[in-house]
Amino acid sequence: MKVIRSVKEMCAYAQVKRREGKKIGFVPTMGALHSGHLSLINKARKESDVVVISIFVNPIQFGPKEDFRRYPRNFSEDRRIAEKAGVDVLFFPSTQGIYPQGYCTYIRVEGLSNKLCGAFRPTHFQGVATVVAKLFNIVQPDIAYFGQKDFQQVVIIKRMVEDLNIPVKIKSLPIVREKDGLAMSSRNRYLNKQEREKARILFQSLQLARRLVEGGERRAEAVARQMKRVIRERVPEARIDYVSIVDPKSLEEVSKIKKKVLVAVALWIGKARLIDNMLIKV
């Protein structure tokens, strides 16, 4: 596996591969690789000739009081995992490489970016859209892979790619879960043993939502209310950012559940802000 740290070298490598007619599959990450990332890498390996992953903890997608400094970083472990997974190129740029002195261009995907997590993390999706657009320009992928745990991120990136005519196909893959249902996330590393146990509540609340809808409940407000009740009963110390039932395309809240909806939850357990979601059909 080749490790490329320079933006210029990554661009040049991608250009050569494209000229050779090779299909580039790309998995952008912030490192702390887990099985969720591996499912994206495996899919990329099946569908492309060259698999590139990036590891870049993007400072501009963290708010001033967020966890940028303590975000898990373990390059040698990530490198080992990536190599074992059959990655061809690990792109590991520096902050200076991505945002050199004088950098001042940002991408804002209006509307979609201030819903759900965006209401609590006002500059987050601007940071994500900006870095992903830059990474697409540098890596020049044919296909890029994202996990559905960050459902809103995927919706925003698809919109951006369409709006800016970026020639890349976006694929999103199902959430990979631990045995007890907890969605894989780099931030799960913040949880101590007791908190880890309590974190099951996210998936449990989503399962409750599914049961309610399957049982005929169509009032979104009633489903959200029951989910909050069960969270508060089982994990009273959890701080809920939101429990929302939205249209999966527009991310607008729905009041009646008439077709497929996205049920999304974000809450804090200790120092970890955890998110999860489920698509529910009627």
Which sequence positions are flagged as catalytic?
Answer: 37
- Reading the block at residue 144, the tokens are 């890029």
Please give the Cα distance from 165 to 235 (Å, whole number): 45
Angle formed at CA 216 by CA 211 and CA 217, multiple of 5 degrees: 80
Pick between residue 99 and residue 212 the one whose CB is nearest to ligand PAF: 99
Q: How far is the CB of 112 from ligand PAF (least distance, A)?
A: 15
Binding positions for ligand PAF, 17-36, rule CB under 6 A: 28-30
Residue type for position 192:
N
Figure out which of the listed residues 39, 48, 58, 277 binds ligand PAF, where binding follows CB under 6 A: 58
CB 273 within 8 A of CB 160: no
Q: How far is the CB of 117 from ligand PAF (least distance, A)?
A: 11
Pick between residue 1 and residue 60 the one whose CB is nearest to ligand PAF: 60
Binding positions for ligand PAF, 108-147, rule CB under 6 A: 128, 131-132
Backbone torsions φ then ψ of 214, nearest 5 degrees? -60, -30
72: DSSP letter: -
The reply on whether position 53 binds ligand PAF by CB under 6 A is: no
The reply on whether position 61 binds ligand PAF by CB under 6 A is: yes
Q: How far is CA 276 from CA 32, 160, 180, in A?
A: 18, 23, 14
Q: How far is CA 154 from CA 74, 129, 172, in A?
A: 25, 10, 7
- Reading the block at residue 217, the tokens are 């409940």
Binding positions for ligand PAF, 249-278, rule CB under 6 A: none
Pick between residue 136 and residue 242 the one whose CB is nearest to ligand PAF: 136
Q: How far is the CB of 131 from ligand PAF (least distance, A)?
A: 5
Please give the Cα distance from 170 to 40 (Å, whole number): 12
Q: How far is the CB of 74 from ligand PAF (least distance, A)?
A: 15
Give me the 144-183 binding string for ligand PAF, x by CB under 6 A, dash otherwise: ------x--x------------------------------
Q: Give the H or E element holding residue 278.
A: strand 272-280
Q: How far is the CB of 224 from ligand PAF (least distance, A)?
A: 25
Binding positions for ligand PAF, 90-109, rule CB under 6 A: none
CB 98 within 8 A of CB 134: yes
User: Using DSSP, how many helices (H) and how many strands (E) does the chain show?
Assistant: 10, 9
Pick between residue 135 and residue 182 the one whose CB is nearest to ligand PAF: 135
Pick between residue 130 and residue 205 the one whose CB is nearest to ligand PAF: 130
Footprint on this chain of ligand PAF (rule: CB under 6 A): 28-30, 58, 61, 128, 131-132, 150, 153
